[in-house]
A and B are shown apart, each in its own frame.
Chain A
């Protein structure tokens, strides 16, 4: 007979919940060394000793107050009482702050087990923790653990099984003592807590004890205030309102917070040694957080990472590029010998072989970016990075945390879009989405640089600089247009964030994660590219290899009068539209349309593209047209994948349409300007 037990993972941001979750369930929640990655609860299962355990990975939250959306998710789950065991994770290397979650949990009648995670980091920082003594003091199971080290999982299972077998809740007695006696503010708190408890009468609310309700009322927790307001008789409600409105009542949140931390300190200061301050704030940190040096440092790291990306991507690109001609000529020879129809050979070569090779090239770049970012993230540099850029971003109406999604936009817009969830308000998230679309992903950079160097040769670096300037200008424009409304001045909250200690990267974990994501992306990209390549192949196949006999040519010619207004002949306009699908498609289409050799007629001929597309383009397209297309490409919609994720994150079609419309207007507007200026100069 099997029975399902539910374990909820609760803890402050960055305490290692998702690491534990992934190792238990074999699933792949996002992990990284900065606070606030998990934003939706995730569920998974594992079987141990014949019992099935359901594990819930909750978004990190500093306490059980429900201020932000993620905190509401976490709190709701805890209050639902569905968990058979709440596993509270704390970061042993930041024990005192981290244990606040435990203090806030006191008064919730659910069985708990406390995991002091990251013992390895704590030990390296010279911190000694007496786990057994803490267990004795708290009266609940306590485990010293390192979620990232798979060898240690047997200890976890042992503790977990016994915690479920003999469930114990935290006893609220010792915290009550802190709330009631001792401390400078105790006298006030005492009155408040007991007065509220009295006013609550026989009020009952799920798994929450009255003392917990009283604390939350003092902390002006919206949800609890609402519940109490709804369920309590009028007279009691008035009594509580009066207490909360009194002078001490107004400071309630501070009073309870102080008491809870006092409770924590008593445990920690007796049973663990503090960290040394040199270990906490190193020389490196002084540089990384310096307001000028920190930014140079960050740019340096960016450049080094991008170079590392290129080196890492090289082998994969080589394989992709190298394979294509070999395979294609093989197909031709074998096909020819067997007497296969030319149309079949064309399909195999241009759709199947070409598509696969291009996907390999694309994915190898994505692989490199994921890998490098992963390392930066694991080490803990990302948090310093956002610190260093907080003052710049706050001018745009965002905060430092937004640098992480924005920076990862250089890697992949679609991925970065998901990262905007770390921001606190919906307005900030939307604003970040708008800005993000202007940041070129690796492929867009490649396309723009390719075009610039093809048409303008040695002047290409100028375009690079101009592009960067335009991006910053677009930031300014966006924050002007959207910032005021999305993030009103009075709602702009500044940065309040912990800088996590540096961690040594766990290579095995990183390699596994990178390998898995790359494979996932490869599969998805392959499917998409094959479908589009096939479609395009059908539109553009002409038995006699004459472009004028293709469907695409006919459609293109019909719309040319309109597109010429923006300086784009139909071939370029179709490439521009292809660019909305993916940057690679844009190049692929160009090489198809401009290499008037029936041979290279496909979406996927990037090999041919890099070899002779340049010449073909430079000889057919005039400079003004080139300018127009270059500008249009710079601010083109990122790609289908990015549109999909944006729709999901923005949660409304209206916003996706708005952002798309905005960038279409910018890119076509710039194309128009570029074209007409070009006509004057050249």
Chain B
């Protein structure tokens, strides 16, 4: 957990597959935030990254749900990665 804090501002788009993490911060306009929050990604939510191949939307498993987030949008979501 310690070195997790050192990984500075890693975005969801840059995270590796099959890793677990928590959402640290979400950036964007209120419309985007409202969409992302209501689908279940909020600061502090723990998730597992299922898929990230740069070519299709990122897939995360969070709150019982598999969620697909487009690449551009996923780079606005910053995370803490568990090691």
Measuring CB to CB, which residues of chain A are less than 8 angstroms from any residue of chain B? 62-63, 65, 67, 93-98, 100, 104, 183-185, 219-221, 253-254, 257-258, 261-262, 274-275, 277, 280-281, 285-286, 289-291, 294, 387-388, 390-391, 394, 399-400, 493-499, 501
Contact = CB atoms under 8 A, between A and B. Distances in A.
Interface in B39-53: 39-40, 42-45, 48, 50-51, 53
A134 to B, nearest CB: 15
B57 A494 contact: yes
Interface string B35-78: 11111101111001011010111010111111111111100000
Contacts of B73: 493-494, 496
B43 A291 contact: no
29 contacts: A63-B38, A65-B38, A67-B31, A67-B34, A96-B64, A97-B39, A104-B38, A253-B37, A254-B33, A254-B42, A258-B42, A258-B43, A258-B44, A275-B64, A277-B61, A281-B59, A285-B66, A289-B59, A387-B57, A387-B59, A390-B57, A391-B57, A400-B68, A494-B70, A494-B71, A494-B73, A498-B68, A499-B59, A501-B66
Contacts of B56: 289, 291, 294, 387-388, 390-391
B67 A499 contact: yes
B40 A219 contact: no
Contacts of A96: 40, 63-65
Contacts of B57: 387, 390-391, 400, 494-495
Given A97-B39, A261-B42, A495-B68, A253 B33 contact: yes
Contacts of B66: 280-281, 285, 498-499, 501
Contacts of A498: 39, 65-68
Which 9 A-B residue pairings sit nearest by Cβ, starting from the closest? A494-B70, A257-B37, A62-B38, A220-B30, A96-B63, A291-B55, A97-B40, A63-B38, A97-B63
Interface of B: 26, 30-31, 33-40, 42-45, 48, 50-51, 53, 55-57, 59, 61-73
A551 B56 CA distance: 58
Contacts of A290: 53
B42 A257 contact: yes
Contacts of B50: 281
A394 B70 contact: yes
B40 A100 contact: yes
Interface hub of B35, B36, B42 (most chain A Cβ within 10 A) = B42
A341 to B, nearest CB: 67
A566 B68 CA distance: 48
Contacts of B40: 96-97, 100, 261
A677 to B, nearest CB: 38
A95 B57 CA distance: 24
A495 B69 contact: yes
B76 to A, nearest CB: 10
Given A289-B56, A494-B72, A498-B66, A254 B61 contact: no
A535 B39 CA distance: 54
Contacts of B71: 494
Contacts of A274: 64
Contact of A97 (B36, B51, B55, B64): B64
B51 A253 contact: no
Contacts of B44: 183-184, 258, 262
A294 B53 CA distance: 12
A495 B50 CA distance: 16
Contact of A95 (B39, B59, B64, B70): B64
A219 B34 CA distance: 7
A221 to B, nearest CB: 8
A67 B29 CA distance: 12
Nearest to B31: A67
A45 to B, nearest CB: 31
Interface hub of B26, B31, B56 (most chain A Cβ within 10 A) = B56
Nearest to B29: A220
Contacts of B31: 67
Contact of A289 (B30, B39, B51, B63): B51
Contacts of A291: 53, 55-56
Contact of B68 (A183, A499, A501): A499
Given A94-B65, A261-B45, A65 B55 contact: no
A253 B30 contact: yes
